[in-house]
Structures are given as C-alpha cells and as structure tokens.
Structure 1
C-alpha cells in the first residue's frame, strides 16, 4: 500500500481530516431516513462501524508526521483499519435504499459490467495494495513524496481507495459483481499476509529498500507493519467468515415413477 507524508502541516489538524466527518454526517442522515414509517430501518452496528471507520480515517489523516514509524501508523490506519470498518458499514447498500429505483437499477447494471467485475476481484485489490507497497519502498517513489505535496496527496488517496477495494472484494456486505468462493478469497488474503511480512522483513534488514531513514527508524516501522498488518488482516479474515453466507442449492426435483 502506498504511503507518503509531504505537505502535512507542522501543527494543528489538516483540513482534509475534516472530510471523514462530512462523510459520516451524510451516512447518518441516510441511516436516519430508514427509520421513517414504511422503511425497513438500518442496523445500529453498521452505523457504528462506519462511524468508527471515519474516525480512524480522520485520525490517519491528522496523524503527525514523526518520521518513518509515524507514517507507517498512517499506513495502518488509512489503508487497512479504516477501510475495513467503512466497508462493514455497508454504505453501498444504504445508498441503494436511499436513491430512487431508477438510479438504483442503473447502479446495479453498472456493477454487472465486465470492467466492474474485474475491478471487484480480490486479486485486483491485492495487486493495488501490495503492489503499491513494493513500488513505494523499493523504488525512488518514497523519496519523491517527501518533496511533492501533489504526489503525496495522490498516493494517500490511492492508499485509502485500494484498501477499501481490497476489503470490499474480500468481505464486503454490499452488493457487487459475483465474488469468488470463500476459499479463493482466503487464499488471496493469505498472499497479502505473506507479501506484507516479506516487505516488513526487507525494511527491518534495510535490504533492497530505497528509504531515507536510520536503522532504528527502519526497524520500528517494520515492526508496526509486521504486527499491525497481521492484526488488520486477521480482522479482515474474521469479517469474511462473519459476513459469509453459504450458497443455497436448489432442492432436487423429485423423479416421477
């Protein structure tokens, strides 16, 4: 996953950290509408999960840039923990219940498009998250983000969107294109765990990485990536098992004698 830190203000809360608060306000307004007479209501657990996700997102955006370990905490919050909590809030389902039927049907048709099916595959999310991680730390990209606020913003956006896509493709309760079976998604998640662990080992040893940091900073950042990433991926696996609904096979047609 991609992480950068150029352009973070020296003090105070950056304005971008207020965006998640606006997201939660819109979500909460839509959720409260579901309590109107004749509507099915909305789960308090989903509302709490989305609220937690926006809080984690705001914390990650406001996290002080205290060297590489601090930015690795941003990586964990913005790219792994916040996206999972947001996904479990099922904002897509809430949106479909809020918009009119014509708009809802158009959105469902869009999700069935071949491009949407390819984007929604867990392998796509895996490539965007772990591929971005390796691209950042094994190439001069990280150094470039230190001096370019625009690049910093782009890679942070990539971090959040790729993390959300990966969490949604693995364990999202929202409607979407047909997902692979649970064993396939667990396999993809296992590859992500191995990729994160390998990158953490490279950072810890200072091998192949192109990161301007001291040995102590590299080891501290690698520790956050290793243990924090494991925690986030265990939570994602648990979310997959909790949200999993076994496929119902049609009853066999009785054979007439």
Structure 2
C-alpha cells in the first residue's frame, strides 16, 4: 500500500472541524459587535487575523485530506502552523474577557488561572503536545491508520490545530496566561521545537513513514521543512520584538546619569 492510498480520507471526515471553525468565526464577530455597541472598539487587524487564521485552518483541513503525502504536508503547515499563528495573534481570550458579562468573564478568568490551564500554557508542555505529537503521528503507524479511520483522522486534525495554537499562543500570543515564562525560556523552547520539527521533516528521506515510498516521503518532508520555515521565522521575529520592547522599557526606567561638578557623570 502506498502513501497515495492511505493519506486520502473521505471528504466528510473533516466536516465537524470545518463547522467548528465557522462557529468560531461567528462567535468572534458577535463578540466584536458587542464591544462596539458598548463603545469599546476592537482592532480591525485582530479581526482580520482571526478570519485569516480560520481560513488557513479550513484550507488545511480540506487540503490535508488530499490523495498525496506532499499535498497532505501543505495542509499540515496551514492547519498546524500558519493558522494557529494567525489565530493566536488575534487575541481571542482578551476579546472574550472584554465582551462577556462580568460574571462569565470572572469565571473564564478563574479557568485561565487554574492548575491544568497553567500547566498546558507552559512552553515545554505546549511544545511536547505540538511537536511531540507530530513525531508520534509520523514515526508510528498513526498517520496511516488515520487515513483509513475518519474519526481518528478528525481527532488528529483537531489535535494538530489546537496543539499548534496552544504552542504559538504560549510563546507569542498577546492573551493573558497564568504564568508567562521568561523570554529566555520561550526563546530556548522555540529553538528546540524548530530543531525537532526540522529533524522530523529531514528524517522522512532516511526512514519514510509507514506506507510511503521514498519519493513520496522526500517530497512531503521537503514541503514540511521549507513551507514551515517562514512561519517559524515569524515567531522568532515576534519574540525579538517583545525582547526589544522590554529593553526599551528598562532603558526608560533606568536613571539618566547627571554630569558632576567637574563635568564627570555622577552616579
């Protein structure tokens, strides 16, 4: 059996996820409308990012069910990398906290501070769920099995999207988290995660995933590596911008040395 055969899933397999994405878009727009009605504007850019992210994720679901491993990998980048980055930058949690009634906003705030959510939003755990999940998917028979079982395929696609969102939001999302890790920790986790993702992509050439020919595995690995690179670079840039803003804030808080009597700088 070739990867061409086992990568294909019935067209309806991703329908529940597509419906969920459509509902997420509607919910976001309704929340923005509620804010505007109360005289509190919401950045148009964030709304655009949310809709673009949902569109990328939906395209990933549809493309990922394609009949070749290379096409599947295009879907992987859209569903698990680009879509999550755009969605995380749209700050949906901040929007919900502002748009929900006070009681529900407080409840959501308590959930965000809970131990399970705090654990999930640590960079190491988020990276293990995202990149570690990909190693499990492609270095076991799980990918081949998901191609035959629509429910398993739906579960895998949902995990890829949610884990990618969690990872990106933990590193560079503007939404509040229970305990935001230091920039140095987030940068180190990002470097290791990117390395693990790229090693996985390159490993396809040496050891094709179950059911794939060497040519199919090589083509898919190359797409995974090169199409994922721009998204990874964007996350690095966002971390760098945050680092630079922190340096500027520290510089403004630092006292400016004043010249002494003899023209020397006083401490």
Fold match (TM-score > 0.5): yes
Q: Secondary structure at the match of 2:33?
A: helix
2:224 aligned with 1:225: yes
- The equivalent of 2:131 in structure 1 is 130
- Cα distance, 1:234–1:137 mapped onto 2, change above 3 Å: same
Using the alignment, how far apart are the partners of 2:58 and 2:97 within structure 1?
Answer: 25
Q: Which has the higher helix share?
A: 2
- The equivalent of 2:74 in structure 1 is 73
Q: Note if contact 2:8-2:68 (Cα within 8 Å) is conserved in structure 1.
A: no
Using the alignment, how far apart are the partners of 1:131 and 1:67 within structure 2?
Answer: 23
Deviation at 1:107, TM superposition (A): 1.6
Using the alignment, how far apart are the partners of 1:116 and 1:22 within structure 2?
Answer: 23
Q: Secondary structure at the match of 1:146?
A: helix
Q: Note if contact 2:7-2:68 (Cα within 8 Å) is conserved in structure 1.
A: no
2:212 aligned with 1:213: yes
Range with bigger deviation, 151-160 or 240-249: 240-249
Using the alignment, how far apart are the partners of 1:166 and 1:235 within structure 2?
Answer: 14
Q: Note if contact 1:173-1:243 (Cα within 8 Å) is conserved in structure 2.
A: no
Normalised by the size of structure 2, how large is the TM-score?
0.83
Q: Secondary structure at the match of 2:178?
A: coil
Residues 45-60 of structure 1: pairs in structure 2 closer than 5 A: 45-60=45-60
Range with bigger deviation, 179-188 or 100-109: 100-109
Deviation at 1:238, TM superposition (A): 2.0
- Cα distance, 1:5–1:29 mapped onto 2, change above 3 Å: farther
- The equivalent of 2:9 in structure 1 is 7
- The equivalent of 1:187 in structure 2 is 188
Deviation at 1:21, TM superposition (A): 2.9
2:161 aligned with 1:167: no
Q: Note if contact 1:203-1:219 (Cα within 8 Å) is conserved in structure 2.
A: yes
Using the alignment, how far apart are the partners of 1:40 and 1:79 within structure 2?
Answer: 32
- The equivalent of 2:155 in structure 1 is 154
2:53 aligned with 1:43: no
- The equivalent of 2:237 in structure 1 is 238
Using the alignment, how far apart are the partners of 1:238 and 1:31 within structure 2?
Answer: 28
- The equivalent of 1:204 in structure 2 is 205
Structure 2 gap ranges (5+): 1-5, 255-267
Task: Report the aligned-residue RMSD.
Answer: 2.4
Using the alignment, how far apart are the partners of 2:10 and 2:238 within structure 1?
Answer: 33
Q: Note if contact 2:8-2:67 (Cα within 8 Å) is conserved in structure 1.
A: no
Which structure has the larger Rg? Answer: 2
Structure 1 gap ranges (5+): 253-257
- Cα distance, 1:160–1:214 mapped onto 2, change above 3 Å: same
2:146 aligned with 1:145: yes
Q: Note if contact 2:79-2:161 (Cα within 8 Å) is conserved in structure 1.
A: yes
2:112 aligned with 1:99: no
Deviation at 1:217, TM superposition (A): 1.2
Normalised by the size of structure 1, how large is the TM-score?
0.86
